[in-house]
Amino acid sequence: MIPVHKLRLCCVCVCVCVRSKPSGPCRGCGLPMNTVVLFVPQQEAWVVERMGRFHRILEPGLNFLIPLLDRIRYVQSLKEIVIDVPEQSAVSLDNVTLQIDGVLYLRILDPFKASYGVEDPEYAVTQLAQTTMRSELGKLTLDKVFRERESLNANIVHSINQASDEWGIRCLRYEIKDIHVPPRVKESMQMQVEAERKKRATVLESEGTREAAINVAEGRKQAQILASEGEKAEQINKAAGEAQAVLAKAEAKAEAIRMLSAALTEQNGNAAASLSVAEQYVSAFSKLAKESNTVLLPTNTGDITGMVTQVRTFN
């Protein structure tokens, strides 16, 4: 037996409804009852009709309504709503059938449009998301569906917002959860991935061989350059050393001549010069027989004094 205080006439669905509390929601329609004094929760908007026409939207907090004349017709939540988009079939641009599901995040911005613009806002947005997803997937090939997932989500959100603006609903974001491809297509994709990896490995190996050959050639080139530069520096140093030796020899010879000239001007200088010439003359003749079997001698070979006198005459 239901208590009498729990049997009340619902002002919305016009039925005898059972409530857990005198001021609780109707179990038949789920809407709050007009109890004159109402407390609207935060992040909710209650749409009130007066004698069948839209009257006003109750703000969160304390509100007052006239019994029998005013009734709460819709209760809209202003929180962000998460809706699972059921899995559906879609055909890509290259005629591959895909099974795709997603998650839709939306929020009611205008409770009036959401109440009177469409019968069921969530159902309408879900259907719109499904049709938009199929339309967007039909513009892309299978490879681009995986590569451009973020752009696909953004395009779906943009298309939904263009249509749902009249319903007072704003789509915040859309995320694709899973993309299922046919088994044969999946095997083909796997083979393509393996072929691509083998190709990259071959390319990397060939590039490594090329780099190694270039490095070897560059090393040989640098070695030849360094060797030629070293040989050049060696020849330069050798020529400079020979030049310095010749110069030092010439300077020594000139110094010897100067010293000899200075010695000749001194007393008994001629006698010393004659002695030196005679010694050289005798030394030269002593070496002739050692160097060759044929020896040509002047007629006055033994006349050393005459030879010295002749040399002095030249001087």
> By percentage, how much of the chain surpasses pLDDT 70?
74
Read off the pLDDT of residues 235-276 as tens digits, 9 standing for 90 and up. Answer: 888 888 888 888 888 888 787 777 767 766 765 666 666 666
Which numeric CATH code is attached to 80-181?
3.30.479.30
pTM metric for this prediction: 0.51
The string of pLDDT tens digits covering residues 282-308 is 676 666 656 655 655 565 655 656 655
Non-local (6+) Cβ contacts of 84 within 8 A are 101, 103, 104
What 3-state DSSP class applies to 13?
A: coil
Return phi, psi of residue 137, to 5°. Answer: -70, -30
Task: Give the C-alpha separation, 11 to 67, whole Å.
Answer: 9
Range(s) within the chain of domains with CATH label 3.30.479.30? 80-181
Residue type, 60: P
